[in-house]
Amino acid sequence: MNHTRSHKLFERARQLMPGGVNSPARAFGAVGGEPIVVARGQGAYLWDVDGNRYIDYVGSWGPLILGHAHPAVVAAVEDAAQRGMSFGAPTEAENALAELIIDAVPSIEKVRLVSSGTEATMSAIRLARGFTGRDVIVKFAGNYHGHVDSLLVAAGSSAATLAVPNSPGVTAGTSRDTLVLQYNDVAGLQQAFASHGAQIAGVIFEPIVGNMGVVSPTREFLTALRGLTQQHGALLICDEVMTGFRVAYGGAQQLLGIGPDLTTLGKIVGGGLPVGAYGGHADVMDHVLPAGKVFQAGTLSGNPLAMAAGCATLRALRDQPPYERLEALSARLEAGLRAAAAAARIVHQFARVGSMMTLFFAAEPVTDWPSASRSDTARFARWFWGMLERGVYLPCSQYEALFVSAAHTEADIDATIAAAREAMAQI
């Protein structure tokens, strides 16, 4: 493939922006080389500025479950734009999106809309501390909750990819009240509460991890999370920025049968526009200003364009659920990728929940960050480039999930599997 124009534009971008990107996950740092520069997307496909077409399994890192430029979402945004871009005042559309979220997620009785997943998790952490009057937050290595100072400790996603477990600029004081444990480690969680239970305000976790690759929780781990937080008066915060409306309409908590005190949302809830949300039990949420004293504000929170995109997306998912078809397509892709790796005699693990999945170039099952970190990232990089040159756009990190959308077809899946067989044979 020719990438001449992408190269020229990226060279210019590096003179204008740090590293040439506005988010490090886009920089291809984990796989080497330079990123493609995207011109447009339609359905399941992306085109770069050089005219190359790709079957897209990134989907803007998860939001585009309906595919690029879905007609209903585009129409809703166009209609909203005609009436005004932003007001900084209440609108009917805010009520509409809030009602859709509350109806879909039983643990959410009230919700506050913000502009990003990071803002949602930051606000949920502050609320947990304000509600309980405690300081300590428990998180898990390999779980990424946005670039919040107190949570950017042993994080997954781009922080793990770039081997920066503790970001410069995050002070010791900021992270002092964060306890980092291993995911799926029940004994470690029990010990943390035995030692610090009276100081723990909340536990934040990804119910299905997507930021060290896809990792599922054990039933014992989920039971311990809920039981210990209730026993010690701490809040359980379920970070569903990635899994919300992805693995089921009611999110991972519906799929797994868990009931957190607070939930954070993003990605799909904005339909491709910048939206985040945090919500939970009414008695907890009523501590947020102006109902309570926990401060959180945002000029663009609930802006009309984002509300329109979010409402159109959630209504489409509710009225014509794609989840059965997504499961069938994703199972077909999983079987094909497993077979391609086996045929090439490549040691691997595969993790999938619904339409999010990860092929790990690893010799042992991946259950936590230490086991994920032993993956062969050099082989992953060769696999990534082999697929890109064959017209398949995958996440540019071993530690990210790939996503199937409702716009993908069986022909797209089969073309991807054929590309995988060729690429695997060469790595």
Residues classed as catalytic? 144, 239, 267
* CA separation for the pair 209, 205 (Å, rounded): 8
Contact 388, 52 (CB under 8 A): no
* CA separation for the pair 382, 286 (Å, rounded): 51
CA distances from 356 to 3, 119, 323, 424, 426 (A): 28, 23, 12, 21, 25
| Relative orientation angle of helices 71-83 and 304-319, to the nearest 10 degrees | 150
Burial group, residue 5, by CB count within 10 angstroms (0-12, 13-18, 19+): middle
CA distances from 265 to 187, 205, 231, 270 (A): 29, 13, 26, 9
392: Cβ contacts below 8 Å, ≥ 6 apart = 54, 55, 57, 415, 416, 419, 420
Shortest CA distance to 310 belongs to which of 368, 281, 361, 269? 269
In which element (H, E) is residue 305 found? helix 304-319
Give the long-range contacts of residues 331-340, CB within 8 A, separation 24 or more: 332/410, 332/413, 332/414, 333/357, 333/404, 333/413, 333/416, 333/417, 336/413, 336/414, 336/416, 336/417, 336/420, 337/417, 337/420, 339/417, 340/417, 340/420, 340/421, 340/423, 340/424
* CA separation for the pair 47, 407 (Å, rounded): 15
